[in-house]
Amino acid sequence: MDDGTEKMVGALNEALEHELGAIVRYLHHSYLVMGPNRDPMISFLRTRAKDSMDHANVLGEKITALGGHPSVKIAEHMEPGNQTLQEMLKEELDAEKDAFQIYVEKLPLFKKNLALEYMMQQFIIEESEHIESLEKLLRKE
C-alpha cells in the first residue's frame, strides 16, 4: 500500500470507529426512552442506528477494497446514566457534529479517488441532515 492509500484507509477506519460507536449509542438511547413519545422516538433512534450501520458497512467494504483491514474499535462515548430525552438528543447532536467534522476534515485525502471523494461528500450531506433534524427536535416552539 502506498502512503496515500494508507492515509485513506486510516481515515476510513477512523470514520468506521465513529459509526460503530454511533450504532451502540443510538441503540442504547432507544432502550432508555420512556413516556408518551416512546414509540416514535424509538423508531427515530433505531433508524439512525441503521443509518450508522449502513455507513459502517460501506466504510468496511471500501477499506478492504483498498487492501486495508477494517477496525473493530468502537469510538468511546460516555455512559452518563439516567438522562432525559432532551439530554440524549443533545448527546446525539454533539456526536453527529463530530461525525460531520471527521468527514469534512478527511475529505481532502480523497481528491485523487473520485468515487471515494463522492462517497465522503454523500456522508457529509447525510450527517448534515442528521444535525438539522436533531436541532429541530431540540428547538423550542
The CATH number given to 3-138 is 1.20.1260.10
Give me the residue spans of the domains in the chain. Answer: 3-138
pLDDT tens profile 4-35: 999 999 999 999 999 999 999 999 999 999 99
Separation between Cα atoms, residue 48 and residue 42, nearest integer Å? 10
Is residue 129 a contact partner of residue 96, using CB atoms and an 8 Å limit?
no
pLDDT tens profile 71-102: 999 987 767 678 899 999 999 999 999 999 99
pLDDT tens profile 46-72: 999 999 999 999 999 999 999 999 999
CA torsion, points 62, 64, 65, 68, in degrees to nearest 10?
A: 100
DSSP line for 94-118: HHHHHHHHHHHHHGGGGTT-HHHHH
Is residue 48 a contact partner of residue 115, using CB atoms and an 8 Å limit?
no
Task: List the alpha helices (DSSP H) in 3-113.
Answer: 3-32, 38-65, 85-106
Nearest alpha carbon to residue 86 among 5, 140, 129, 130 = 140
Separation between Cα atoms, residue 25 and residue 23, nearest integer Å? 6
Q: Report the pLDDT value the prediction gives residue 80, as an integer from 0 to 100.
A: 67
